[in-house]
Amino acid sequence: MSRVPRLHIQGSFAGGDVTLDADTAHRLRNVLRQGPGDAVQLFNAESGEFAATLVELSKSRGVARLDTRLREPGRDTGPWLVAAAIKRAPLDTLVEKAVELGVSEIHPIVTERTNVERVNVARLDAIAVSASEQCERIDPPPIAAPVTLREKLANWPRDRRILLCAEAGTSIPLVQALAGLDFAAPWAIMVGPEGGFAPAELEMLAAHPLVTGVGLGPTILRADTAALAALAAFQLASPRARQAPRAF
């Protein structure tokens, strides 16, 4: 039996009937081949997740009747990913995998050697929503507007520590940094661009009180590989990893 479709929809809902916009109606009707009477699950971070039944589905809109609440509202407390913008395809994949690996926010940054002009935040938002639907999260992580590394640090939250994936300079193995880490505190994982951080950037970061430089082994990983390796290690070392996935 194919699983009941999970759809992220905007707005706050807690019961009764929910109106579905034209895009959602189109997706349900023409892509998922659903119709009135079929079951769906509707969710977002501020409302939680509900089992629902489609009561109306036309070309321009749909209506779903909320049944039981399946999940309470809430947002993941995973790390932020602060990643230098990289080429479109690997960045799309990185966003999708970062959502699966529990990031709470994604912050694209521009560094000295970043070689992409612009980041399509709307496209990355859609990828984050789609990944959340697939991996059974209720809270697609927001994608921040790209800013320079300096601007990001100039407005950085005072309580959020940074694990800087440093391909050069002083660093400790990531696994050593994770041993005994306070996972309840706010964290960020930072990764450079394909061309790496500039020496001046690494020096500036090394001097930052909230930054711990970490190594990811003896090879030079591609930026997206490095980000995924670090996020996977973080998630698997954290108490969250002890939560079992769904029951059969």
Report the interface residues with ligand SAH, using CB under 6 A.
Answer: 165-167, 191-192, 195-197, 215-217, 219-221, 223, 226
How far apart are CB 121 and ligand SAH at their closest, in Å? 21
Q: Which is nearer to ligand SAH, 140 or 213 (CB)?
A: 213
Instruction: State the minimum distance, in angstroms, from the CB of residue 221 to ligand SAH.
Output: 4
Burial state string for 71-94 with b = 16 or more CB within 10 A and e = fewer than 16: eebeebebbbbbbbbbeeeebbeb
**Min dist. Cβ of residue 224 to ligand SAH (A):** 8
What is the spatial distance between Cα 102 and Cα 128, in angstroms, rounded to a whole number?
A: 11
Give the end-to-end CA distance of the chain in Å, rounded to a whole number. 13
Output the smallest distance, CB 163 to ligand SAH, in A: 10
Bridge pairing between strands 48-57 and 39-44? antiparallel
Shortest approach of ligand SAH to residue 119 CB, angstroms? 17
Residue 75 or 160 with smaller CB distance to ligand SAH: 160
The residue (of 28 and 106) whose beta carbon lies closer to ligand SAH is: 106
Minimum CB distance to ligand SAH smaller for 53 or for 225: 225
Closer CB to ligand SAH, residue 138 or residue 216?
216
Residue nearest to ligand SAH (CB): 192
* CA count, 13 A, side-chain hemisphere, 239: 8
Tokens 């706050």 locate to 12
For the beta carbon of residue 97, count every other beta carbon within 10 angstroms.
18
